[in-house]
Amino acid sequence: MSLKRVWSATGVVALTGALLLTAAPVASADAVRDAQWPLMVYDAEKVWETSRGEGVTVAVVDTGVDATHPDLTGQVLPGKDFTGSDPHEDSDGHGTGMASLIAGHGHGTNNSAGVMGLAPESKILPVRVDAGGEMDAKTWPQGVRYAVDQGAEVINLSFNDANSYPGSDGAEAIAYAQEHDVVVVAGTGNDAGTVNYPAALPGVVAVTALDENLNPWSNSNTGEGVTLSAPGVNIPVADSTMPNGYGTASGTSDATAYVSAIAALVRSEYPDLTAGQVINRLIKSASFLHHEGKEAPDDELGYGIARPGSALTMDISKGPEEGPLASAASPNSSSDSSISEDEAAKKAKKNEKPSSSGVLVVGFAAAIVVVITIVLVILRSRRNRGGPGSGGPGGGNPPPGAGYPPQPPTGHQPYSHQDYPASPGVSQQYPNPYGQPPRQGQ
């Protein structure tokens, strides 16, 4: 397998500390809400005065979404399961967690308990493409196309697939979504490397994670191609696989879900904007905040930290319908990446069509060059008469192109899929999100 979910195993455990595994449901949920630091950072209550994501459908292409979780009841649409089961079944918990960060509405008195999503009135379209480590590069592209055909306006992709390079089924599915005016958001990855696919594809909003101090999370994949950053460390999520229904997570998955939620807020408030113009608003409203000296796009933060309040209220021109990322290509995303600069220049020159006057000038210049060359050859032959040949040591010119070999095509190194170990139901910390052994039998 070459796919990875982009959350960290540090959080696939039940919330502990103030929240005990044996605590009563209401008490547990209150502790969960208190731990949702991104809502405080974003001043969510004020954001919701402008938009709550009403009328927008966000597709969560993932492990399924538990529609019976108390924080998601009524928010989850029928959806589809491409693994042959039920899209509302989630034996892993990841998809439910992402859905809760986007459209969770909490529960209890005044919905003051449990996980509250950043776009609590948006709807979730569950697209199950992973039944616990069984997702492959042929399955999720079908899910993306399905989501588009079902009217999703935002698609959340909280996974990596090294095989979704340009020209692949995954890349074509994302292009299909973009052609149908859908905002596609994906996590950059959690192994401190470069931006992974599908986040690295042109037009995709590639998201890195921030800690509680809004500093870059050290495990985020970074580099050219990062679009935005968002909270992604120690995030409370709904997780029906946990004994109390909640867990904590760290990774670009969670940051991706928050940016998807912000996109939903904007699409709800500005229904006339295209997907590209929504992305333009997300980018133009982002800020580096306390990170002084940064220049956009930054390798770690992209165009800055996503800010829902500013995205909704700033005076930002619509911009072109295709948006700022339409022609942007992150590393290795160009199908012509194997063409050397020399070859590219030759191709460009070949495609040029000189004017008739230009042809005359070129012809005249060529004639002059020929005459000068003949004169130089005669003079050189006189100087070298009786001397070593021009092909001897130190003589002659290198063959055309010597020293400028074509650049080798960029490799797409696949990596094996590693699942997170089954949660033991007690607090554990895993220092490396991808250093864990796969589940037994996989």
- C-alpha 139: how far from its chain's center? 18
pLDDT digits (tens, 9 = 90+) for 423-434: 222 222 222 222
Determine the Cα–Cα distance for residues 416 and 398; give it in Å rounded to an integer: 45
- Count of CB atoms situated within 10 Å of the CB of 37: 15
> Do residues 237 and 258 lie in contact, with contact meaning Cβ atoms separated by under 8 Å?
no
Q: Is the pLDDT of residue 195 over 60?
A: yes
Catalytic residues: 62, 94, 253
Q: How many CA atoms lie within 13 A of 327 on its CB side?
A: 2
Query: How far apart are the C-alpha atoms of 249 and 299, rounded to whole Å?
Result: 23
The per-residue pLDDT for 3 is 67
Tens digit of each residue's pLDDT (9 = 90 or more) over 214-241: 999 999 999 999 999 999 999 999 999 9
* Phi and psi torsions of 249, nearest 5°: -140, 155
* Residue range 271-279: mean pLDDT, rounded: 98
pLDDT digits (tens, 9 = 90+) for 176-186: 999 999 999 99
Among candidate residues 185, 203, 235, the one with its CA nearest the CA of residue 38: 235
Phi, psi of 252 (to 5 degrees): -75, -15
Identify the pLDDT of residue 18: 32
Over residues 335-354, mean pLDDT: 34
Question: Rg of the Cα trace of the chain?
Answer: 27
pLDDT band at 193 (very low <50, low <70, confident <90, very high): very high
Q: In the predicted model, is pLDDT for residue 349 greater than 80?
A: no
Q: Is the dihedral of CA 164, 169, 175, 180 positive or negative?
A: negative
Q: Which has more confidence, 282 or 6?
A: 282
Mean pLDDT of 51-76: 97
pLDDT (mean) for 166-187: 97
Average pLDDT over residues 124-136: 86
- Per-residue model confidence as pLDDT tens digits over 68-100: 999 999 999 999 999 988 999 998 999 999 999
As to burial, measured by CB atoms within 10 angstroms (0-12 exposed, 13-18 middle, 19+ buried), residue 91 is middle
Confidence of residue 137 (pLDDT cuts 50, 70, 90): confident
Indicate the residue type of 340: S
Comparing CA positions, the residue from 1, 9, 2 lying closest to residue 254 is 9
Summarize pLDDT for 92-122 with one digit per residue, the tens. 999 999 999 999 999 999 898 999 999 999 9
CA distance linking residue 225 with residue 198, whole number of Å: 11
Q: Tell me, what's the pLDDT at 85?
A: 87
Domain 3-313 sits in which CATH superfamily?
Peptidase S8/S53 domain (3.40.50.200)
What is the arithmetic mean of pLDDT over 134-144?
A: 88
Asked whether the CA dihedral 304, 42, 9, 263 is positive or negative, the reply is: negative
Q: Return the pLDDT at 327.
A: 55
Q: Does the pLDDT at position 404 exceed 90?
A: no
Residue 84 has a pLDDT of 87
Q: Averaged over 331-360, what is the pLDDT?
A: 34
- Please compute the mean of the pLDDT values over residues 37-65 and round it to a whole number: 97
Residue carrying the six token digits 């895993």: 430
For residue 1 the two structure tokens come to 């397998």
In the chain, the percentage of residues whose pLDDT exceeds 90 is: 62
| Residue with more model confidence, 192 or 326 | 192
CB atoms within 10 A of CB 111: 16
Characterize the bridge pairing of strands 3-5 and 183-187. Answer: unpaired
Q: For the chain, which residues make up each domain, given as ranges?
A: 3-313
> Please, what is the average pLDDT of the chain?
75
Closest among 191, 195, 135 to 165, alpha carbons compared: 195
Q: Which residues pair with 3 in a beta bridge?
A: 161
Q: What are phi and psi of 313, to 5 degrees?
A: -115, -15
Could you tell me the pLDDT band of residue 203, with boundaries at 50, 70 and 90?
A: very high
For residue 219, is it left (φ>0), alpha (ψ between -120 and 50) or beta? alpha
pLDDT per residue as tens digits for the range 298-316? 999 999 999 999 999 999 9
